[in-house]
Amino acid sequence: MDIGNETGRAADNVVAMLEAKIVSGELEDQTPLPAERELMEQFGASRTVIREAISQLSSRGLIETRPRFRPIVRKPDYATVLHACGNVVQHLLTDKTGIKNLYDSRVFIERALVREAALSARKDDIVSLREALEENRKAIPDSNEFYRTDVAFHGVLYRIPRNPIFPAMHEGYTSWLAPQWDRMLRSPERNEVNYLAHKSILDAILERDPVAAEEALNNHLKAAWEFVRVTFDWGDE
Amino acid sequence: MDIGNETGRAADNVVAMLEAKIVSGELEDQTPLPAERELMEQFGASRTVIREAISQLSSRGLIETRPRFRPIVRKPDYATVLHACGNVVQHLLTDKTGIKNLYDSRVFIERALVREAALSARKDDIVSLREALEENRKAIPDSNEFYRTDVAFHGVLYRIPRNPIFPAMHEGYTSWLAPQWDRMLRSPERNEVNYLAHKSILDAILERDPVAAEEALNNHLKAAWEFVRVTFDWGDE
DNA sequence: AATTGCCCTTTGGTATGACCAAACTAGACA
DNA sequence: TGTCTAGTTTGGTCATACCAAAGGGCAATT
């Protein structure tokens, strides 16, 4: 196919060079990029290609751009990458089907996660889960706080495999699905139900019962979906 | 946070309008975009912002650009999106750790997939698996063909949940990990081993034994990893 | 001394016009 | 009918200019 050795587009070269400077640390993380007019001198290119390169780096998540500000260097990490993917993924969430697919995949993953937790959670994992659940319980009266601790509880599950990809996936799920969830009614009563669901999940994990844990989580997430479904008056799935 | 209502960058408006035209089908899939000079007239913007918009659409996977050719409209689907994510993900695969994390996540997902398959594969799924395995067997002498059928066999597992996200993930795993796998030695003997692993996975699925299926897959993928590890002389994980 | 208000400079966003080389097109030609 | 060729279209790049907003420094104020 393509060898990619030829000069091709000039912007690509600039991208590659800046990319190298970012990953090597020559351009420090969290620091602003040099001014465009300085970069064009540095690379011997016109401002056109410099801006093109900046645009590409931005869409790759290597720098963070705000409308009238200097781009900020961001050394790539899993969260950044996932966030950059968000712009792309969003096109698939315009209809109910897309959202359902994403949610179903989350259920699938999380079922496997709680299985894993029940089978091989370590002591400190258990401690984290207990703490997260307790925070969740205390937040029942405050729906906003409850939402936060809800997400945090599930987040603990994603950290158990100790693979940074999973927390990133969790970040993706919550941020991509958030637009729908935010529009959902919340109430202390509803929070109570969800808290109890979390508790039953943790109980099953504590009993080292993967089947019960998986089932508890499945019931929890299915019920949550059912709730948004009727909230938005979507037809049956 | 950001309301996003103000005009902001002019290119964003153009992006939004083109985006709408693409998803609505006014700009047909697989057809070339109008010429830049025509778009600038159509949107009343300078060529600068048109090109900026095109660049953004390209990085979002809504159009496909080749160096000197007209951009081709691509209505977003899961495969396209995943492919677009590839450019971003690639930064995380520069070192062994990143590759290992990605591979581990694949093992995790696929373990859950074979569990699912053992528990609830339908007749046609079984047929597909059998066919894929048979193709795999016949390809043992030809390493390139074997690799193809190997990927295809695993791909069947990803299609069982009937959620298009999973095949897309499979596509991502294979393409992102391919650079490493391609450099790996292949031989009919090695192929035979992998074929037998595939067979034992399918056997467990046929016996509706999720534990055995999961273990067979785990052994298979762990062995494969071990093989690349020694091939590349990476230290112990 | 810390804060506020103002002015000047820097810099990102955009527009215009131009040039080149590669892609495209149509007409000439075998 | 298929191929070659010359003219046109068009993407990639450059240079220049202007505007508005961000940044920075200095003086007045509290």
pLDDT of residue B119: 96
Instruction: Provide, in whole angstroms, the distance separating residue A8's CA from nucleotide D3's C1'.
Output: 30
Candidates B235, B217, B223, B19; CA nearest to B108 is: B217
Which class for B34: exposed (0-12), middle (13-18), buried (19 or more C-beta within 10 A)?
middle
Tell me the two tokens of residue B189: 């003997």
What is each CA distance from B111 to A43, A106, A109, B221, in whole angstroms? 48, 15, 11, 10
| pLDDT tens digits, one per residue of A65-89 | 999 999 999 998 888 888 888 888 8
Q: Is A102's CB less than 7 Å from nucleic acid strand D? A: no
**Chain A neighbors of B60, CB-CB under 8 A:** 59, 87-88, 91
Q: How far is B211 from chain A (nearest CA, A)?
A: 12
Q: Is B10's CB less than 7 Å from nucleic acid strand D? A: no
B33, B72 in Cβ contact below 8 A?
A: yes
- B119 part of contact set with chain A, CB < 8 Å: no
Instruction: Provide, in whole angstroms, the distance separating residue A25's CA from nucleotide D13's C1'.
Output: 30
Interface test with B, best of A23, A165, A214, A217 (most B CBs within 10 A): A165
Specify the higher pLDDT residue, A167 or B235: A167
Over residues A148-152, the mean pLDDT reads 96
- A163 part of contact set with chain B, CB < 8 Å: yes
CA-angle at B110, arms to B145 and B141, nearest 5°: 20
Grouping H, G, I as helix, E, B as strand and the rest as coil, residue B190 is helix
Report CB contact under 8 Å: B101, A161: no
Kindly indicate the confidence band of residue A92, based on its pLDDT and cuts at 50, 70 and 90: confident
pLDDT of residue A82: 84
Residue A185 pLDDT more than 80? no
Alpha-carbon distance of A102 to A196, in angstroms, equals: 25
Strands (E) across chain B are located at 63-64, 72-73
* Look-up of token digits 């029942």: A140
Q: Is A47's CB less than 7 Å from nucleic acid strand D? A: yes
Q: What is the helix (H) or strand (E) element at residue A210, kind and residue range?
A: helix A210-231
What is each CA distance from B162 to A102, A104, A221, B113, in whole angstroms? 12, 10, 19, 11
What is each CA distance from A38 to A21, A33, A45, A58, A59, in whole angstroms? 15, 10, 10, 18, 22
Q: How many CA atoms lie within 13 A of A236 on its CB side?
A: 0
Report CB contact under 8 Å: A23, B84: no
Which phi-psi region, left, alpha or beta, contains residue A4 (left: φ > 0; alpha: ψ -120 to 50)?
A: left
| B44 CB-near residues (< 8 Å, 6+ apart) | none
Kindly indicate the confidence band of residue A135, based on its pLDDT and cuts at 50, 70 and 90: very high
What is each CA distance from A43 to A10, A46, A181, B68, in whole angstroms? 10, 9, 46, 22
Average pLDDT by consecutive 10-residue portion of chain B (237 residues)? Answer: 52 94 94 96 96 94 94 90 83 88 97 97 97 97 95 98 96 90 84 96 98 97 90 71
Candidates A111, A117, A137, A136; CA nearest to A207 is: A117
| A79 CB-near residues (< 8 Å, 6+ apart) | A167, A168, A171
Q: How many residues does chain A have?
A: 237
Q: Is B75's CB less than 7 Å from nucleic acid strand D? A: no
pLDDT of residue B7: 57
pLDDT of residue A24: 92
Tell me the two tokens of residue B136: 């795999």
Query: Closest-CA residue in chain B for A210?
Result: B211
Residue A2 pLDDT more than 60? no
DSSP B48-101: HHHHHHHHHHHHTTSEE--TTS--EE----HHHHHHHHHHHHGGGGSSHHHHHH
pLDDT of residue B81: 83
**Chain B neighbors of A91, CB-CB under 8 A:** 19, 23, 60-62, 76, 81
Report CB contact under 8 Å: A91, B165: no
Candidates A106, A121, A125; CA nearest to A218 is: A106
Q: Is A68's CB less than 7 Å from nucleic acid strand C? A: yes
A171, B109 in Cβ contact below 8 A?
A: no
Q: Is B68's CB less than 7 Å from nucleic acid strand D? A: yes
Alpha-carbon distance of A130 to A136, in angstroms, equals: 10
Nearest residue, CA→C1' of D10: B35
| A203 CB-near residues (< 8 Å, 6+ apart) | A216
Instruction: Provide, in whole angstroms, the distance separating residue A82's CA from nucleotide C14's C1'.
Output: 31
**Chain B neighbors of A115, CB-CB under 8 A:** 112
Alpha-carbon distance of B81 to B44, in angstroms, equals: 30
What is each CA distance from B33 to A25, B16, B51, B71, in whole angstroms? 39, 15, 12, 6
Q: Is A127's CB less than 7 Å from nucleic acid strand C? A: no
Candidates A222, A154, A224; CA nearest to A190 is: A224
- A25 part of contact set with chain B, CB < 8 Å: no
Report CB contact under 8 Å: B102, A56: no
Average pLDDT, chain A: 91
Phi, psi of B78 (to 5 degrees): -60, -40
pLDDT of residue B114: 98
Kindly indicate the confidence band of residue A1, based on its pLDDT and cuts at 50, 70 and 90: very low
Report CB contact under 8 Å: B105, A9: no
Residue A3 pLDDT more than 90? no
* Look-up of token digits 């620091």: A31
Alpha-carbon distance of B33 to B39, in angstroms, equals: 9
pLDDT of residue A229: 86
Q: Is B68's CB less than 7 Å from nucleic acid strand C? A: yes
pLDDT of residue A21: 95
Share of chain A above pLDDT 90, in %: 76
Nearest nucleotide to B66, CA against C1' atoms? D11
Which class for A220: exposed (0-12), middle (13-18), buried (19 or more C-beta within 10 A)?
buried
pLDDT of residue A91: 83
pLDDT of residue A237: 57
